[in-house]
Structure 1
Amino acid sequence: MRFIHTSDWHLGRTFHGADMRRFQRDFLEFLVREAASHQVDAVLVAGDVYDRALPGPEVIAMFDDAVDALLETGAQVVISSGNHDSGPRLGYGRRRFARAGLHLRTVPADIADPVRLEDAHGPVEVYGIPYLEPGLVWRDLGAAHRTHQAVLTAAVERILAGRDTLPHRSVVLAHAFITGATPSDSERDVSVGGLGNAGASVFTPFDYTALGHVHRPQAITSAVRYSGSPLPYSFSEAGVPKTVSLVELGEAGELELEQIPVPAGRPLAVLEGSFEQLRTDPAFAFAEGAFVSARLDDTARVPHAMARLRERFAHLVHLEWTSRLPAAPATRLGAGSGPSDEEIFSAYLRHVTGNPAGTAQRRAFAEAMLEARA
């Protein structure tokens, strides 16, 4: 049995305000080509298809086109919902779509309902566990506690209770933070005081666990893996290869895995130095076509730095100053006395820019104060 494991598409998401739909569409076209060329039996999507519970019409159309194209390759498509998705909305029409090969697992009621696939060695059961918010589902699942560990354990117990006695091979999709995973800055935190963590041992009964939620591809165990997001959604993912997982499940559940690099997307670059260095140094030429985060170490603020750097880096989307400016001198207040408005203004300006107020700035401030008082 051969399948592709992917997750965290986040269709409709922007990157620091930049539209990512073009790159998301490129990824989906790549995924269809890979499904066809490897003749996979199924494509497994472990949550966060969309970036928000109410995606826009164009984003829904993008997803619809992708599913149609994947089904045309002959693959079954199994999707579980993530914490960014609205499970009931994503799962609309799921019983009818299943007859066409699209299997949506988006509500707790369907956790124990497997997608049954067949290969030359017999059946493979694929289960989908949607993102489970403990506070909403723990009682209905009969979980022992109001934690992610407890609700995932209860979900797996429900699956095992519903299985027949035949030794079928089995795969599960889940969207959760598993202890030991390395996160990035672009996942939405689902934990409070560690209650969002769950141990990988909960998935021991399955031959392969296709995880979603963490955006860096990684293995928790040899059979419990995150595919990662196909596109980077934070600068903490700069230099992190984006992949989908090609998984082959043997006759006895043995695994062969291959990470297929995803070519879609604009590269990320985090640049550090002075404003003039970034603006002129040939060493930064590699980043001229990338999404850029600039970290400037100038001790004085450069006017219009973002706009001026965009003359070289058209896709500069983030800028920060890393140097600490000189502190404003402390003012001792005596009884019945204090700094004047102009002194407060001048001290603030020195704190923000590193320079005292000039004649023109003091004049403008005085005029503004006169108008305010009038």
Structure 2
Amino acid sequence: MRILHTSDWHIGRTFHGNSTMDALAEVLGALTAQVRDNAVDVVVIAGDVFDSATPSGAAYTLLGDALVALHETGARVIVTSGNHDSAARLGFQARLLRDGIHVLTDPLAVGVPVTVADAHGPVHFFGIPYLEPAIVRQHWPEGDGSGRQLRTQAQTMAHAMDLVRAGMARHEGRSVAIAHCFAAGVDATIGLEREVRQGGLDVVPLSVFDGPDYVALGHIHGRQKLSDRVRYAGAPLHYSFGEQDKPRGSWLVDIDADGLAEVEWLELPVPRRLVTLTGPLDELLSAETVAAHADDWVCAVYTDAVPQTEPMRRLRESYPYCAMVQHQPEVRAEADERSYVQRLRNAVTDADRIDAFLEHVRAGQGPTEAERGLIRAILDERVRAEALV
């Protein structure tokens, strides 16, 4: 049996205020072509289908179009919910969907598989929706079997996987588990969710996933191989500049009569490349640099000693897709580390005090000669005005 493992579509997410709907539709079209070209039997979408618990009408339309297109290839489609999804909204049409499209959002059905047969017999797919302990605890008041309440996602996921293994015991054959969580062993530099960066890491031990022939995980936006049989596919689009160098794609998983046989990475196209350009603003606006990146999403980091006037406006005149601009002055090795109070101790005149202030806010860079002339002119004008009073 051939399985395509994808996740974290985040339909409806914006990129620095720009819609990603058209780009995502293009990428999902390419993914559908890969399903057809590789004769995939089952497509697994491991959570975060939507970016919001209240998706727009356009987001539902895009999801519907994608599911129909995948179904028309002849593949079965199995979808689980993630932390960004509303399980109720994602799953409300589950009973009405055409045969071959399965949306699994009910925690109480974790141990009940979707079974797909091939020439070697059944393969059982166990979908685990995102499990927020405070919400799903009511469904399992007995806790983890030792009398302890389910308080962490690690405990909750361990209990869910116990239910999966119990389901495996009742249903002979090969098995695949689908889950959405943060598993131990993930490279924390690759595409973490916004909530993960802002909060603590509720890490699920890798041993929790023992048992199934393959475990398709979602929640991390970069591909990850935690073991031969436990993997993250990542998001199909780049949703932040931190992900710009990470490949986009999905895992093509082959299961034979004995279980997991082979896993191959299928690259997806990148509709618009993301780049971070660093250097003085004039250098970023040079004809050579602009020619190389005019069609890219650009994060511009200009390193001039002082803030420049209207940098975003100037950049967008050359880079229509400049999404972000940052001022990060180069720190010189000989930079003066004195505090502002220390600088003022040696300031005698008003001009000295202005120099001290500029050096402090500019990481040691004092006024230019042109600025000194302007400062002297202003101070002289003030003296003349006071003399007339």
For normalisation by structure 1, the TM-score amounts to: 0.86
- Bigger mean CA offset, 321-330 vs 289-298: 321-330
Whether 1:252 aligns to 2:262 is no
2:347 equivalent in structure 1: none
Does the 8 Å CA contact 1:300/1:354 hold for their aligned counterparts? Answer: no
Does the 8 Å CA contact 2:191/2:220 hold for their aligned counterparts? Answer: no
Other structure's SS at 1:311 match = helix
Does the 8 Å CA contact 1:186/1:234 hold for their aligned counterparts? Answer: no
- Bigger mean CA offset, 46-55 vs 279-288: 279-288
Match of residue 330, structure 1, among 312, 330, 341: 341
Does the 8 Å CA contact 2:340/2:360 hold for their aligned counterparts? Answer: no
Other structure's SS at 1:50 match = coil
When residues 240 and 298 of structure 1 are mapped into structure 2, their CA distance, relative to the original with a 3 A threshold, is same
Superposed CA deviations along residues 120-165 of structure 1, whole A, max 9, x for unmatched, are: 0000000111111122223533234411211011001122223444
2:49 equivalent in structure 1: 49
Total equivalences in the alignment: 356
Superposed CA deviations along residues 295-330 of structure 1, whole A, max 9, x for unmatched, are: 111001110111111222211111111116998953
Distance in 2 between residues matched to 1:161 and 1:191, nearest whole Å: 34
For residues 247-286 of structure 1, the aligned pairs below 5 Å read 247-280=253-286, 282-283=288-289, 285-286=291-292
2:167 equivalent in structure 1: 162
Does the 8 Å CA contact 2:104/2:129 hold for their aligned counterparts? Answer: yes
Superposed CA deviations along residues 28-87 of structure 1, whole A, max 9, x for unmatched, are: 111211111112111100001111111111111011111111111111110000111001
Which has the greater radius of gyration? 2
Distance in 2 between residues matched to 1:221 and 1:350, nearest whole Å: 51
One-letter amino acid of the structure 2 residue matched with residue 154 of structure 1: H
Paired-residue identity, %: 37
Q: CA RMSD in A?
A: 3.0
One-letter amino acid of the structure 2 residue matched with residue 330 of structure 1: V
One-letter amino acid of the structure 2 residue matched with residue 302 of structure 1: Q
When residues 17 and 195 of structure 1 are mapped into structure 2, their CA distance, relative to the original with a 3 A threshold, is closer
When residues 268 and 191 of structure 1 are mapped into structure 2, their CA distance, relative to the original with a 3 A threshold, is closer
One-letter amino acid of the structure 2 residue matched with residue 33 of structure 1: A
2:230 equivalent in structure 1: 224
Distance in 2 between residues matched to 1:200 and 1:120, nearest whole Å: 31
CA apart distance, 1:166 = 4.9
CA apart distance, 1:332 = 11
CA apart distance, 1:331 = 9.0
Whether 1:351 aligns to 2:350 is no
Match of residue 326, structure 2, among 280, 297, 320: 320
One-letter amino acid of the structure 2 residue matched with residue 115 of structure 1: V
CA apart distance, 1:192 = 8.6
Other structure's SS at 2:298 match = strand
1:14 equivalent in structure 2: 14
Whether 1:298 aligns to 2:310 is no
When residues 362 and 61 of structure 1 are mapped into structure 2, their CA distance, relative to the original with a 3 A threshold, is farther
For residues 61-100 of structure 1, the aligned pairs below 5 Å read 61-97=61-97, 100=99
Unaligned runs of 5+ in 1: 334-339, 367-374
